[in-house]
Structure 1
Amino acid sequence: MSYLPLDQYQRKWIFTHQSMPVSEQDLDAIKPMDQARSAQLWKDNISAQSPDAERLSSSDWPMKVDNWSESVDWMSAWESDDEQLPQEVLDYIDWQDDVTVYFCYEKYNIIETKWSTFKKCWKNFLFYDDGPILIGRRRNEALWFADNGQVKLGKRN
């Protein structure tokens, strides 16, 4: 099995916190990967040598300035009562709701879900905002969230 039951996930509380409850249906669609699968996905899609976003090397695609087209504020939307991702993000990521996405916190901590679930629960995912990168299966677009409240919009190569 390459997923952990949500009950065994170290950060389960971000999806069960009383202030931001997640529906049962959405909880079922949030699939933390086990360490081995996370490590392989990270190696294949983010970095072969760096364990997290803080230690990416200059040869890793996220560190190449040309891969990022703009940076927009996500923090004000996160702090507001509006449930929607910032409009600039929604305009940039034009994926169907059933696209599989990977929210990559670091090498051993990746969650697989659907774009529709991420859009609904994005505030929960961003309780931890220490450089996570969102990528989609067989998609070039990427989002890189920073703890300064900005998200970079870009393409991976």
Structure 2
Amino acid sequence: MSYLPLDEYQRKWIFTHQSMPVPEEDLAFIKPMSQARAAQFWKENVSAQSPDMDRLSSSDWPMKEQNWSQEVDWMAAWEDDEQGLPEEVITFIDWQDDVTVYFCYEKYNVIETKWSIFKKYWKNFLFYDDGPMLLGRRRSEALWFDSKGNVKLGERS
């Protein structure tokens, strides 16, 4: 099996928290990968040797500064109840709503969803902001969030 049922996902609460619950019809589009599938995705798309963002090696593409073009504050938008993703992110990621995206917390914790779902519920995904990265299927653009409230905008090499 490639996915875990959301009920078995250790961080399910970030999508069902009473302050920001995701409606039932949209929860179906939030698909945590099984550990084996997440590890394979991570190895192919983030790092072949490092288990999380804190231990990336200098040879991993995210560590190469030339892959990142801009850094934007996401924390102010996250704290504003009325605001969506920062405008710079929306401008940078010019994807159709149905593009499959992968939100990568670490090697064994990757969530697959659609760009439209991520845009709508990005604040839920960022309850855990310890270096997660957003990648799109067959897309070069990438977002790398940090716990200081910044997101790097870049391209996978």
TM-score past 0.5 threshold: yes
Please tell me whether residue 153 in structure 1 is matched to residue 153 in structure 2: yes
Q: 1:26, CA displacement in angstroms?
A: 1.3
Q: Look up the SS of the partner of 1:77 in the other structure.
A: helix
Q: 1:47, CA displacement in angstroms?
A: 0.1
Q: Which runs of 5+ in 1 are unaligned?
A: none
Q: Which runs of 5+ in 2 are unaligned?
A: none
Please tell me whether residue 106 in structure 1 is matched to residue 126 in structure 2: no
Q: Which residue of 2 aligns with 1:36?
A: 36
Matched-pair contact (CA < 8 Å) for 1:144–1:152: yes
Amino acid at match of 1:53: M
Amino acid at match of 1:129: D
In 1, Cα distance between the equivalents of 2:148 and 2:82? Answer: 20
In 1, Cα distance between the equivalents of 2:10 and 2:50? Answer: 21
Q: 1:78, CA displacement in angstroms?
A: 0.2
What are the within-5 Å matches in structure 2 for residues 1-157 of structure 1? Answer: 1-157=1-157
In 2, Cα distance between the equivalents of 1:18 and 1:11? Answer: 14
Q: 1:148, CA displacement in angstroms?
A: 0.3
Q: 1:146, CA displacement in angstroms?
A: 0.2
Q: 1:51, CA displacement in angstroms?
A: 0.2
- CA-to-partner distance for each residue in 1:76-129, whole Å, 9 max, x for gaps? 000001241000000000000000000000000000000000000000000000
Q: Look up the SS of the partner of 2:50 in the other structure.
A: coil
- CA-to-partner distance for each residue in 1:17-76, whole Å, 9 max, x for gaps? 000010112100000000000000000000000000000000000000000001000000
Share of identical aligned residues, percent? Answer: 76
- CA-to-partner distance for each residue in 1:126-157, whole Å, 9 max, x for gaps? 00000000000000000000000000000001
In 2, Cα distance between the equivalents of 1:149 and 1:17? Answer: 21
Aligned residues: 157
Give me the CA root mean square deviation: 0.5
Q: Look up the SS of the partner of 2:28 in the other structure.
A: helix
Matched-pair contact (CA < 8 Å) for 1:135–1:141: yes
